[in-house]
């Protein structure tokens, strides 16, 4: 039976659970991430904000080895993921849950089969245990057993998001990565997702990393917020993370790029558009 994992205690050195050390990612000569240094303690919920195209989702994928850094290291629980072979990396990924941007459910599978998918990859879980876990996770995200036999197309966007969260929690992960969990949802359903993120952390002590443009979500679920900035808009040698602090520190930050993003103000971007037309 899959049981909730009890994270091993932090080493006496106080090492973070996850650390990106000087991580850079380049695709076909185009730099997306540059010299990212970021430590995430066990049990923290971190929100990553920033404009579209600044590398937030790419960074999430580097944390589980879906994208290999061009340079630098990704340390998870004391191990450098960039040095693991495929089998070792797969074993470490079982400790992560991933909530994809648009839920990314399998259209041809039922809701029950979607939630069970990661469990069926685990030889140590029998069919009865899988059924029990699927029902438990479904109830945890506020859905009833009546949806188990449905296909994703038969559900609303908010329900699909919750099924995606249930699937991410199926293996009782130590870390959950949320990629734009509230995108495309109305304000009420967005807040339902936020509450589920908070409930998951309270119940399991899970470490969470949330990529979002939704400032209400960032403020509500995060202990800490970092802001990435597009490399093309940075000065030479300027760090890509331009903010790292608490949600309360966002509004009065001295960097106008931070406050303009948080408040949804076009600021200098309108001037730039005018210059380009000229």
Report which DSSP code applies to 21: E
Angstrom CA distances, 211 to 9, 139, 165, 208, stand at 26, 25, 14, 10
**169/138 Cα distance (integer angstroms):** 10
Residue among 3, 51, 17 nearest 175 (CA): 17
- Does the predicted model carry a pTM greater than 0.85? yes
Average pLDDT in the chain: 88
Please list the residues that pair with 46 across neighbouring strands.
209, 224
Checking if the pLDDT of 90 tops 70, the result is: yes
- The answer to whether 134 and 126 are in contact (CB under 8 A) is no
- What distance in Å separates the CA atoms of residue 187 and residue 5, rounded to the nearest whole number? 33
DSSP helix/strand/coil, 52: coil
Least confident of 77-81, 182-186, 264-268, 271-275: 271-275
Between CA 260 and CA 251 the distance in angstroms is: 9
Q: What is the pLDDT of residue 273?
A: 55
User: Does residue 210 contact residue 46 with C-beta atoms inside 8 Å?
Assistant: yes
């Amino acid at each position: 039976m899959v049981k909730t994992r009890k994270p091993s205690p932090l080493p006496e050195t106080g090492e973070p659970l996850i650390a990106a050390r000087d991580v850079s990612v380049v695709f076909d000569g185009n730099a997306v991430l540059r010299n990212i240094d970021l430590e995430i303690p066990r049990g923290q919920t971190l929100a990553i904000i920033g404009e579209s195209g600044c590398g937030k989702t790419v960074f999430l994928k580097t944390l589980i080895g879906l994208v290999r850094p061009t340079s630098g290291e990704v340390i998870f629980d004391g191990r450098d993921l960039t040095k693991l072979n495929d089998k070792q990396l797969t074993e470490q990924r079982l400790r992560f849950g991933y909530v994809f941007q648009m839920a990314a459910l399998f259209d041809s599978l039922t809701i029950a089969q979607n939630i069970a998918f990661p469990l069926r990859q685990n030889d140590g879980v029998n069919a009865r245990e899988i059924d029990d876990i699927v029902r438990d996770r479904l109830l945890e995200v506020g859905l009833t057993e009546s949806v188990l036999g449905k296909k994703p197309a038969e559900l609303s966007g908010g329900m699909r998001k919750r099924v995606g969260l249930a699937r991410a929690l199926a293996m009782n992960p130590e870390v959950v990565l949320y990629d734009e969990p509230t995108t495309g949802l109305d304000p009420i359903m967005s807040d339902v997702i936020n509450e589920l993120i908070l409930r998951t952390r309270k119940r399991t002590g899970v470490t969470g990393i949330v990529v979002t443009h939704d400032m209400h979500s960032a403020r509500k679920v995060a202990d800490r917020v970092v802001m990435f900035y597009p490399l093309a808009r940075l000065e030479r040698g300027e760090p890509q993370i331009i903010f790292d602090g608490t949600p309360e520190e966002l509004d009065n930050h001295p960097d106008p790029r931070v406050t303009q993003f948080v408040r949804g103000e076009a600021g200098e971007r309108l001037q730039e558009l005018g210059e380009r037309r000229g």
